[in-house]
Amino acid sequence: MEFFSQPAVGNRLGDFLKSELSNDWDRFRAAVAFVKRSGTKHISGQLATFASSTPVEIIAGIDHLGTSAEGLGDLLSSVQPNGRVLILHNRLPFTFHPKIFLFSSSSRALAIVGSGNLTEGGLYTNYEAGMRLDLDLTDHAHSAIHNEIHATLDRWSDLSSGTTLELDQPLLTRLTALGLVPPESLTTKTTGDEEDDVSEKAADSEAESDAEAGEAEPSPFAAVTVPKAPPAPTAASPKKAKQPKTAAQGPSAGTASQTALAGFVMTLQTTDVGVGQTSKGTSRRSPEIFIPLGARDMNPGFWGWPSDFVPDTGWTGPIDGNGFGKMDRMGVRVRIGGKNTTINMWYNPDKRDLRLRSEDLRSSGAVGDILRIEKVSGVGYDYYIEIVPTGTTQHPVYLVKCDQSVRAPSKKKYGYY
């Protein structure tokens, strides 16, 4: 077992990989979060020589736009003819983030597990760390570790999961066209692992990206839920000393009865306020405001999810990982611009967002304006809604509260207060 760190020269992930790709192994498997040409250019030659006679499998992630088309193209050409590249991507906001490299033979194996991706920063110049495990497969404990790593890679490479696809040139072209795998020239840097800094709170915005492009084809990947994190412990509130009641103090004396208000804000984009194609023979797009699923799931009670929604009994489409098909909340009472009206909310696993259907909302806003919604009670409607236009004094006030982002290239931001 050996601990390594970088950027110490001679003790970097790239040094280890180049060395081992030149050694005699029976198999090489890897799983990495991000791949860029800045990294593949350093190992493509050794990888191609290795794969000319030895099986290779590399599982790559494409979350947060951290993987480039050129990087994947390099891997695809380098692993021929004895290897394959797999892409793992969950449409829900769960990031594929491992860094595992496993060389195996009949009696020994080498596993490298650490923080470095297949980018130049991950291989050489970032501050990274990891463990190198030399495994004697005749030893039961070593063999068990080796088998467990393989079992994990087997799960991730399972094509029946819907989240993993085998890469070929048509799929690479499709992923690039969908905006899931950008050209390297569009990434912010080409030599580091800046993608690791992207917030993993980002909501899945593929539906919005599709709509912004017109009628683009949907993502080929599945949306699969994963086990939730355990609840974070809360600090115990200090106990207050009991105060004796006086005759003037009833049970609620000294407290004001208030209605708790929950506020939501979101910047509007073309998908929210646009009408789509308007040429002869085409119809205006339905008047819908797109609420990211990350926003819904951050505060489901705000939207009445799922208790106030009812299943669409005529739905024959897909069912999501939580067992929901199309769900509707009809006739929601709202006040918009001084007028009481109703809107419809609905969720469809095909669309991957929560939508508010209202022509009043669409026609009131413009790109960059802020949608502000307050949940209220006891006033004859369920939500107070207003559009805060750009250029007004209140716009920067609420823009600060839009502190959550969805995945690029969408510019939509949202938040609660």
**Per-residue model confidence as pLDDT tens digits over 148-179:** 999 999 999 999 989 999 999 999 999 998 88
- Predicted pLDDT at 178: 84
Task: Say how far apart CA 13 and CA 101 lie, in whole Å.
Answer: 10
Is the N-terminal amide bond of 81 cis, ω within 30° of 0?
yes
- Predicted pLDDT at 75: 97
- Cβ(263)–Cβ(373) below 8 Å: yes
Question: Which burial class, exposed, middle or buried, applies to 338 when counting CB atoms under 10 A from its CB (0-12, 13-18, 19+)?
Answer: exposed
DSSP for 65-133 reads G-S-HHHHHHHHHHTTTTEEEEEE--SSS-----EEEEEE-SSEEEEEEES--BSHIIIIIS-EEEEEE
Distances (CA, A) of 70 to 38, 48, 175, 183, 266: 9, 16, 12, 7, 34
- Give the other-Cβ count within 10 Å of 267's Cβ: 24
Residue 203 DSSP one-character state? B
- Predicted pLDDT at 3: 93
Contacts of 27 (CB under 8 A, 6+ apart): 54, 55, 56, 103, 104, 105
**Per-residue model confidence as pLDDT tens digits over 93-131:** 789 999 999 999 999 999 999 999 999 999 999 999 999
Question: Which burial class, exposed, middle or buried, applies to 214 when counting CB atoms under 10 A from its CB (0-12, 13-18, 19+)?
Answer: exposed
- Predicted pLDDT at 124: 94
Could you tell me the residue ranges of all domains in the chain? 2-200, 261-416
- Predicted pLDDT at 259: 36
Task: Say how far apart CA 337 and CA 241 lie, in whole Å.
Answer: 47
- Cβ(95)–Cβ(63) below 8 Å: yes
Output the CATH code of domain 2-200. 3.30.870.10
- Predicted pLDDT at 232: 64
How big is the CA angle at 65 (ends 293 and 210), to the nearest 5 degrees? 50
Task: Say how far apart CA 189 and CA 120 lie, in whole Å.
Answer: 11
Buried/exposed 25-35: b ≥16 CB within 10 Å, e otherwise: bebbbbbbbbb
Q: What is the pTM of this model?
A: 0.56
- List, for the chain, all residue ranges whose pLDDT scores fall below the cut of 70: 186-218, 228-230, 232, 234-261, 275-285
CATH class of 261-416: mainly beta
Contacts of 243 (CB under 8 A, 6+ apart): none
Task: Say how far apart CA 54 and CA 66 lie, in whole Å.
Answer: 28
